[in-house]
Amino acid sequence: MKKLKFPTSHKTQVMDISKEVEELVIESGVKDGVCIVFTPHTTSSVFLFENQDPALRRDLLNALNRIAPTDGDYFHKGENAAAHLKSSRMGNSVAIPVENARLMHGKWQGIFFGEFDGPRQEREVYVKVVAG
């Protein structure tokens, strides 16, 4: 298993981590199998999303903010209930088939990391490529 570490720079943001994950798939030496990408943070997510139009990422964040607004009336004692709700909505992992050492996601898909409680000095994403 490999670990990606990186900072985030905004309260909420969507980062394309596809290239970093693709490099780890190649380094793994696995030709055919599955790649699992996971974040252990309860206020962030890993998900597949459209990778061509960056404006769509802003649309996603705006939609999530309507679902779980930062200033909502929450029972959670902390000030980050909205971040937890957004993370749970988007999910913490994806599994992507690997064929000929390539991720088999769709032409318009990328692997994204969602930050919902930033900025943070360090976030982690774990990548495991399993032969199959």
CATH at 111? 2.60.120.460
Say if 88 falls within a structural domain.
no
Q: How many residues does the chain have?
A: 132
pLDDT band at 130 (very low <50, low <70, confident <90, very high): very high
Whether residue 41 contacts residue 124, with contact meaning beta carbons closer than 8 Å, is answered with: yes
Distance between CA 44 and CA 4 in Å, rounded? 14
Write the single-letter amino acid at 83: A
pLDDT band at 34 (very low <50, low <70, confident <90, very high): very high
Say if 51 falls within a structural domain.
yes
Cis peptide before 119 (omega within 30 of 0): yes
Alpha helix (H) ranges present in 49-114?
A: 54-67, 81-90
Say if 77 falls within a structural domain.
no
Say if 75 falls within a structural domain.
no
Domains of the chain: total? 1
Walk across the sheet containing 13-16 and list its strands: 13-16, 109-115, 44-50
Say if 20 falls within a structural domain.
yes
Q: Give this prediction's pTM.
A: 0.96
Q: Which of 100, 114, 89, 93 is nearest to 36 (CA)?
A: 93
pLDDT value of residue 12: 97
**What residues make up the domain containing 54?**
2-68+96-131
Say if 59 falls within a structural domain.
yes
Say if 87 falls within a structural domain.
no
pLDDT value of residue 60: 98
Say if 83 falls within a structural domain.
no
